[in-house]
Structure 1
Amino acid sequence: MRNSIEFIVQGEYALFTDPLTKLGGEKLSYAVPTYQALKGIVESIYWKPSLIMVVDAVRIMKAIRMESKGIRPIEYGGGNTLANYTYLRDVEYKVRAHFEFNMNRPDMAHDRNEHKHHNILKRSLNAGGRRDIFLGARECQAYVEPCDFDEGKGFYKDYPEIPLGTMVHGFNYPDETGRNQLEVRLWNPVMKHGVIEFIRPEQCTLVRTIKEMQPKHFDATNVVSADELLAQLDSF
């Protein structure tokens, strides 16, 4: 696929929180990563406001295992609460993704250089990403490296279909949709032979508005060129 990358992400723990379990102050992970969590990983590898990262598919390479831990959440008002978090243990995923230009950001039209961004994206992946990689939660550190998406046999290769029920797909942000509101998307994924093929965000039919939100604009008042930054550094 055009402008695509394929990578493997591994970690000791993952926490793709089912929002229904947060009501009581505790967290239970989904059995598989959400589209939004994987999109966050791709954006940690390389992100620009002129791009939209699209996750195409994920392969579940290892058996789904869970582990519960007693956690003391930070309570800024005081207190000594003990919560129970249920993590995924020893995870490994192969991901296929690509980028598209964000046509809802005309202020970034000057940055639509396909060849440049694809090369930077691949170099960033080879370096392990530009920002810290984590799996759903900040405490779940992970590592990425390039791979062949179809290479190797995953644990669920011989399982024809595994329905996963209703899950969060991701969030619609104003700068990506052109609508001045934050929305959440739901869908009903099915894992086939260990692979989940993601539908595109605009194909999700279960969409709910969370709140009104305005997109952030980038212009001469809040963007500084690399040459200007270097000049500022030289002045010190």
Structure 2
Amino acid sequence: MRNAIEFEVYGKYALFTDPLTKMGGEKLSYQVPTYQALKGIVESIYWKPTLLMVVDEVRIMEAIRMESKGIRPIEYGGGNTLANYTYLKDVRYQVRAHFIFNPHRPDMAFDRNEHKHHNILVRSLNAGGRRDTFLGTRECQAYVEPCVFGEDKGFYDNYDGEIHFGTMVHGINYPDETGRNEMEVRLWNPVMKNGIIQFIRPDQCTQIRKINYMNPKHFDDSNVEAVENLLNMLEEGGNQ
């Protein structure tokens, strides 16, 4: 696929929080990563407002296992609460993704050079990403490296039948990605076949809930150039 990357992301723990479990102050992870979580990982490798990162599919490489931990959440008003967080344990995923130019950012049309962005994306992936990578929440540190999607043995490769995960959060719509001055949440019903979940595109989601009113941030060539110079300096420093 054009402008695509394939990578493996892995870590000791992951927490893709089911929002229904947060009502009482505790967290329970979905069994598989959400589209939004994987999109965030792709954007931690490389991101520009010029681009829209699209996650195509994910391959679940390890058995789905969970572990509960007693956590003391930070309470700014005082208190000593103990909560149970249920994490996924020893996770490893193969991901295929690509980018397109964001049609809702005409202010970034001057930066639409696909060869430049794809080369930087591949180079950033080879370096392990440009920003910290985590699996769902900040405390779940993760690592990324290039791979060939479909290679190596996965736990669910020869699973007989489909695995349905019910209704899950697909992701969040932001104004600069939709052209609407609203923040929205998308829902969908994922199905895993032989260890692979193929994602529908955000614009194909029919279950959408409005969250809040929001305006997109404006970019122009001056502040984009400043950010590019900073990122290039960081990249050069990391290669020394």
Are 2:197 and 1:199 equivalent residues in the alignment?
A: no
Q: Which amino acid aligns with 1:90?
A: D
TM-fit CA distance, 1:214: 0.3
Judged with a 3 Å threshold, the aligned counterparts in structure 2 of structure 1 residues 8 and 228 are, in CA distance, closer, same or farther, namely: closer
**Residue of structure 2 equivalent to 1:5:** 5
**Residue of structure 2 equivalent to 1:31:** 31
Taking the aligned partners of 1:143 and 1:104, their CA distance within structure 2 comes to 31
Taking the aligned partners of 1:83 and 1:166, their CA distance within structure 2 comes to 25
Judged with a 3 Å threshold, the aligned counterparts in structure 2 of structure 1 residues 121 and 82 are, in CA distance, closer, same or farther, namely: same
**Residue of structure 2 equivalent to 1:211:** 212
TM-fit CA distance, 1:228: 8.5
**Residue of structure 1 equivalent to 2:236:** none
Q: Which amino acid aligns with 1:61?
A: M
Gap regions ≥5 residues in structure 2: 231-240
Deviations 1:85-138 (A, max 9, x none): 000000000000000000100110000000000000000000000000000000
Judged with a 3 Å threshold, the aligned counterparts in structure 2 of structure 1 residues 223 and 42 are, in CA distance, closer, same or farther, namely: closer
**Residue of structure 2 equivalent to 1:175:** 176
Taking the aligned partners of 1:94 and 1:188, their CA distance within structure 2 comes to 20
**Residue of structure 2 equivalent to 1:62:** 62
Taking the aligned partners of 1:227 and 1:33, their CA distance within structure 2 comes to 30
Residues 1-236 of structure 1 aligned to structure 2 (within 5 Å): 1-159=1-159, 160-219=161-220, 222-225=223-226
Judged with a 3 Å threshold, the aligned counterparts in structure 2 of structure 1 residues 146 and 79 are, in CA distance, closer, same or farther, namely: same
TM-fit CA distance, 1:223: 4.6
Taking the aligned partners of 2:120 and 2:35, their CA distance within structure 1 comes to 23
TM-fit CA distance, 1:153: 2.0
Taking the aligned partners of 1:4 and 1:138, their CA distance within structure 2 comes to 26
Judged with a 3 Å threshold, the aligned counterparts in structure 2 of structure 1 residues 5 and 80 are, in CA distance, closer, same or farther, namely: same
Taking the aligned partners of 2:72 and 2:226, their CA distance within structure 1 comes to 43
Q: Which amino acid aligns with 1:209?
A: K
Taking the aligned partners of 2:83 and 2:132, their CA distance within structure 1 comes to 26
Deviations 1:116-170 (A, max 9, x none): 0000000000000000000000000000000010112210112231011000000
Taking the aligned partners of 1:8 and 1:27, their CA distance within structure 2 comes to 25
Cα RMSD (Å) of the superposition? 1.4
**Residue of structure 1 equivalent to 2:238:** none
TM-fit CA distance, 1:183: 0.3
Taking the aligned partners of 1:42 and 1:221, their CA distance within structure 2 comes to 25
TM-fit CA distance, 1:220: 6.0
Taking the aligned partners of 1:64 and 1:31, their CA distance within structure 2 comes to 7
Q: Which amino acid aligns with 1:81?
A: T
Taking the aligned partners of 1:221 and 1:33, their CA distance within structure 2 comes to 36
TM-score by length of 1: 0.94
Aligned length: 229
Taking the aligned partners of 2:192 and 2:229, their CA distance within structure 1 comes to 49
Give the secondary structure class of the aligned counterpart of 2:216.
coil
- Percentage of identical aligned residues: 79
TM-fit CA distance, 1:219: 2.6
Judged with a 3 Å threshold, the aligned counterparts in structure 2 of structure 1 residues 111 and 224 are, in CA distance, closer, same or farther, namely: closer
Taking the aligned partners of 1:140 and 1:204, their CA distance within structure 2 comes to 28
TM-score by length of 2: 0.93
Gap regions ≥5 residues in structure 1: 230-236
Deviations 1:5-54 (A, max 9, x none): 00000100000000000000000000000000000000000000000000
Runs of at least 4 residues of structure 1 off by over 3 A?
Answer: 220-229
**Residue of structure 2 equivalent to 1:234:** none
Q: Which amino acid aligns with 1:195?
A: I
